Amino acid sequence: MNGWLAFWIRPHRIYVNDTHLRVHYRRVADDLIAVVPDGAAAVLDYGCGLALEAARVAERVERLYLYDAAEAVRARLAALHGGSARIAILDEAGLAGLPEGSIDLIMVNSVVQYLSRDELAALLVRARGLLRRDGRLVVADVIPPDGNVAADVASLLRTARRGGFLLAALGGLAATAVSDYGRMRRTLRLSHYAPEAFLALAAEHGFGGGREGCNLGFNPRRMTFTLRP
C-alpha cells in the first residue's frame, strides 16, 4: 500500500478534467445511495477519495463517516464537508476510535486493487469488528483475473463519450501511459481476485455473502461483493 499511497498523496491525472471528476463522483454517490439500507444510522465510506457528492449520501443517514488514508485528500474533504453536521472525516486514529458494532454499512469502492492480500485481510478484520450484527460490507470494483488495461481503457472511453469529455479522455490516456501511474501499474501491479478466492478469503475472516450480478461503477468487467458478518 505504501507505494500506491505515495501516488495518491501527490498531484496526479487519473481524472482527465473537471468533468471527468464530477461524473465519477456523481456515480459513486448514486451507487452508494442505492445500497444504503433504509433507516441506516451510520455508514462508512472507506477509501472515499474526494467524495464530492457526500452531502447527498448524508441526507439518507444519521451519520456518514469518510475515511481516506491520504492526508492531502482528508484536507480537501475537510474543506468540502467540514461544515456538515452529518459528515465526519476520519484519520487513522478516528477510524480506530469508532465503537465496535456501530456501523450499518461499509462501502469499499475501487480500493482492493491497491491492497496486498494481507492488507485486504486486515481490512476485513477491521470491518468485521465495526459492523452491526445485521450490517453489510460492500466491496466494489474488484478486478477479476482476466482484468487488464484494455478493459479499463474501454470503460473510460464509454464513460467519456456519455459524459462529454471524450477528447480529454484520449489525451489523458496518452499522458497516463507515461505517468507515474502507468509506471507503477507495470511495476507494483494491481491485485486481482477470482470470485471464489475473494469469497474464500472473506469467509476466513468471518463473512458470508456473494457476488452481485453487476459491478457498481463504470466498469462492467469488474466485480462487486456484498458480505455479511
The residue written with cell numbers 462508512 in the block is 44
Cell of 121: 485481510
Could you give the CA distance from residue 104 to residue 133 in angstroms, rounded to a whole number? Answer: 9
**How far is residue 222's CA from residue 229's CA, in Å, rounded to a whole number?**
23
Name residues whose C-beta falls within 8 Å of residue 212's C-beta, 6 or more positions apart in sequence.
Answer: 223, 224, 225, 226
Whole-model pTM? 0.85
Helix (H, G, I), strand (E, B) or coil at 63: strand
Q: Are 40 and 105 in contact (CB under 8 A)?
A: yes
Query: CA distances (Å), 210 to each of 50, 110, 170, 207, in order?
Result: 28, 17, 36, 10
Query: What are the phi and psi torsion angles at 129 (to 5°)?
Result: -75, -30
pLDDT in the model for residue 141: 94
| Cβ-defined contacts of 181-188 (< 8 Å, 24+) | 181/7, 181/12, 181/13, 181/14, 184/3, 184/4, 184/7, 185/149, 188/3, 188/4
**pLDDT of the chain along its 229 residues, tens only?**
556 666 666 665 677 778 888 888 999 999 999 999 888 899 999 999 999 999 999 999 999 999 999 898 999 999 999 999 999 999 999 999 999 999 999 999 999 999 999 999 999 999 999 999 999 999 999 999 986 667 777 777 777 678 777 777 676 665 665 455 555 555 557 899 999 999 999 999 999 999 999 999 888 899 999 999 9
Q: What is the pairing mode between strands 131-142 and 87-90? A: unpaired
Q: What pairs with residue 87 in β-bridges?
A: 64
**Cα–Cα distance list, 37 to 61, 152, 161 (Å):** 9, 30, 32
Neighbour tally for 39: CB within 10 Å: 9
